[in-house]
Amino acid sequence: MLTKNDKDWVIGNFATKYELTSEMAKMEERIESKAQKRHNELMNLFDGLAKEVKDNEEFRLVTNHRLDKLEGVSF
């Protein structure tokens, strides 16, 4: 049979179900926050990359159009 001292020792040395649940909730919030931050960083990188690809495509279209016009000109 457990005495009051035994119960106090157990309570003092082990986390309760409520404490564990609370810590898990805090940990989930931190993980979710970090995941959201990483997601935003990746989206910013992808947006920059997509803009650069689009700019390169537009540059190639303009350059090819100008080259086509120059081919018809005789020097």
Question: Can you give the pLDDT of all 75 residues of the chain as single tens digits?
Answer: 889 998 889 888 898 888 999 999 999 999 999 999 999 999 999 999 999 999 998 888 888 877 777 777 666
What is the DSSP secondary structure assignment for residue 27, as one 8-state letter?
H
Q: Give every CB contact of residue 15 below 8 A, 6+ residues apart in sequence.
A: 23
Confidence at residue 37, expressed as pLDDT on a 0 to 100 scale: 97
Q: What distance in Å separates the CA atoms of residue 41 and residue 33, rounded to the nearest whole number?
A: 12
Neighbours of 25 (CB within 10 A): 10
Amino acid identity of residue 42, one-letter, is L
- CB neighbour burial string for 35-46, b if at least 16 within 10 angstroms, e if fewer: eeeeeeeeeeee
